[in-house]
Amino acid sequence: MTNIDILKKSFQDLKGFWSTALLASMPLSLLPVFIQYDKTIGMLLLLLLSGALRAGVSKVTLCIASKQPVKLNYIFDGFNYFKHSLGVFLLSMLFIALGLICFIVPGIIIAIWLSQSFFILVENPNLEPLEIFKLSKEMIKGNEIKLVYLFLIFVLISVVLILLNLVLLTLLIAPIQYVVFANFYNSLKK
């Protein structure tokens, strides 16, 4: 499946599910706002909740991309396996940060290797974080550039919207991006 096919399929998948995908992505998109009010509490909330919320949005968008029934309470499913979702989030941030400290390129490579972690977690909530990372790395092998191109599309769209002072519209990019990456994950599984 080419990136164009993935993008087309994602827009088709979103028909009838825009509001669900938007609601699913909102808590994760708005979480950084808390840092503006109180840096300590905001950072603590960001560290504690990001993993579970990321798992939740991954589950919702994976259901949308796989044509499975979607329930809005799936947003909070990451809290059912909070320890693992927190572990995946914190360890991936640690590994990426260490890679970025060494040089920028290793950090980017590590981020690419770990990119499928939350989708794997959602489908296998009993796996330990390091097992999930290993599966993610194996799954992405040979498709790294394809993922980078998809990511760059969304970076470019976001930059254009910001330059046009349409910052609020960047919130609408998140649901599309999550469904695109869910479809990318599904294409890797085949």
pTM: 0.92
Query: Average pLDDT for residues 94-118, to the nearest whole number?
Result: 94
Alpha-carbon span 146 to 150, nearest angstrom: 6
What pLDDT does 10 receive? 97
Tell whether the torsion through CA atoms of 96, 134, 150 and 84 is positive or negative. Answer: negative
Alpha-carbon span 34 to 79, nearest angstrom: 20
Band (pLDDT 50/70/90 cuts) for residue 181 is very high
User: Which three-class secondary structure state does DSSP give residue 30?
Assistant: helix
Q: With a cut of 90, say whether residue 115 has pLDDT above it.
A: yes
Q: With a cut of 90, say whether residue 162 has pLDDT above it.
A: no
Domain around 184: 3-7+15-189
User: Which letter, b or e, does each residue of 81-106 get, where b requires 16 or more Cβ atoms within 10 Å of its Cβ?
Assistant: beebbbbbbebbeebbeebeeeeeee
Alpha-carbon span 132 to 77, nearest angstrom: 17
How large a percentage of the chain has pLDDT more than 70?
100
Q: Which residue intervals of 31-81 are DSSP H helices?
A: 33-37, 39-65
Q: With a cut of 90, say whether residue 17 has pLDDT above it.
A: yes
Residue 5 amino acid letter = D
Query: Average pLDDT for residues 161-170, to the nearest whole number?
Result: 82
Number of domains in the chain: 1
